[in-house]
Structure 1
């Protein structure tokens, strides 16, 4: 339900009729979700979004039209939350759409219950990333920024990864971090996974120690001890 108690209004956009039908069938299982429109391409989605006033748009990345990225930017500017539907192999179009304001990425083969949970989470203002692609997506999202490596003493984490790491150091669970930062648990887990890899750490205990060391006066990003 939305803040007013009304069902979450969903627009489905994909150029495959069978997939649209499947998404509609799944979402109608949840009494707090309502499919208010279906679009076969990006241009139709843009038009229907103006008339049907959805809260959430499920947008297939292979939808034809004048540009998925432009549509995401337009809808996000109107306060409409966009969730991308794509494959396990993450392409540059997904990264561009997320940079444009999309609030999540869901594998097209997601289970019915998980899809419903994702739509509810996005409607609440959370960001969702399917666990099957989280690591790759997060790496690609910040990869351009980092190039081939980092200078000594330079923090290799993005602002969001750093925020998650600091909450890990405070002893918060993934669920508590998700609530604090308004993220899904899967997204929090993905940020931790990427942070561990980028810092060459083994587990969240080492991550907590690393954060505490790095926050000492005069400390930068410290190397990991054997």
Structure 2
């Protein structure tokens, strides 16, 4: 069972998230919070696998809350809107594990929680689209042309799917390969491209135009 913490300062959205995710057979809502400070308190008081945090919250914003919560152990998904570019950039730099738009479909939200709980990172296609220009000129050095040229055809296909925001299960279905094979390719991509996580791979794919 995946134990999650939900935090959002909008009561209706928080209630909707609790209803959607709490209805899943393999997910239980261990705690909810109305601001970032309360989210940190709940993360300390409960055993949490994944925290789903609004990127903008009072008292303590979502990014600051995410930093502390990740230090405690749980993985973090940020909920964003289309006007959160600067905050998304900061969250990427801090190494959060996923980004979803607030209007994500219920199955997408649940799938993202499962993926992040399983060690993956999730970058919603709508988020990557909004930060494309920043990614091209963003912080850090892009993967070298030599490193990209050293990828196998299958690795480039997997990288392209990651750049589109696909999870391992979705990549496996799209490429007609086993999910365990996808995980092997992802591990190889991380090593070959010097990326710290899946989000970094998605940004590399976007910057290189591989996912377009």
Corresponding residue for 1:32?
A: 26
Give 1:143 shift: 2.8
Corresponding residue for 2:194?
A: none
Q: For residues 139 and 79 of structure 1, do their structure 2 counterparts lie closer, same or farther at Cα, with a shift above 3 Å needed?
A: farther
Corresponding residue for 1:21?
A: 15
1:133-154 CA deviation, whole Å, 9 max, x = no partner?
21333653563437xxxxxxxx
- Matches for 1:1-150 after TM superposition, within 5 Å: 7-137=1-131, 139-141=133-135, 143-145=137-139
1:75-125 CA deviation, whole Å, 9 max, x = no partner?
112221110001123421222122222111100000000100000000011
The whole-number CA distance in structure 2 between the counterparts of 1:108 and 1:96 is 18
TM-score normalised by structure 2 residue count:
0.72
Q: For residues 53 and 139 of structure 1, do their structure 2 counterparts lie closer, same or farther at Cα, with a shift above 3 Å needed?
A: farther
Of residues 183, 187, 194, the one that matches 2:207 is 194
Q: For residues 158 and 30 of structure 1, do their structure 2 counterparts lie closer, same or farther at Cα, with a shift above 3 Å needed?
A: same
Q: Which has the larger radius of gyration?
A: 1
Determine if contact 1:83/1:105 at 8 Å carries over to the other structure. Answer: yes
Which secondary structure state, in structure 1, belongs to the residue aligned with residue 120 of structure 2? Answer: coil
The CA RMSD over aligned residues, in Å, is: 3.1
Structure 1 residues not aligned, in runs of 5+: 1-6, 147-155, 198-202, 205-226
Bigger shift: residues 112-121 or 89-98 = 89-98
The whole-number CA distance in structure 2 between the counterparts of 1:178 and 1:135 is 24
Which secondary structure state, in structure 1, belongs to the residue aligned with residue 131 of structure 2? Answer: helix
The whole-number CA distance in structure 1 between the counterparts of 2:143 and 2:209 is 13
Of residues 157, 168, 171, the one that matches 2:142 is 157
Determine if contact 1:10/1:36 at 8 Å carries over to the other structure. Answer: yes
Structure with more of its chain in helix, by fraction: 2
1:60-84 CA deviation, whole Å, 9 max, x = no partner?
0121123433221111122211100
Do structure 1's residue 171 and structure 2's residue 154 form an aligned pair?
A: yes
Give 1:28 shift: 1.7
**Corresponding pairs, count:** 181
Determine if contact 2:4/2:52 at 8 Å carries over to the other structure. Answer: yes
Determine if contact 2:142/2:204 at 8 Å carries over to the other structure. Answer: no
Determine if contact 2:85/2:130 at 8 Å carries over to the other structure. Answer: no
The whole-number CA distance in structure 1 between the counterparts of 2:119 and 2:32 is 22
Give 1:190 shift: 6.1
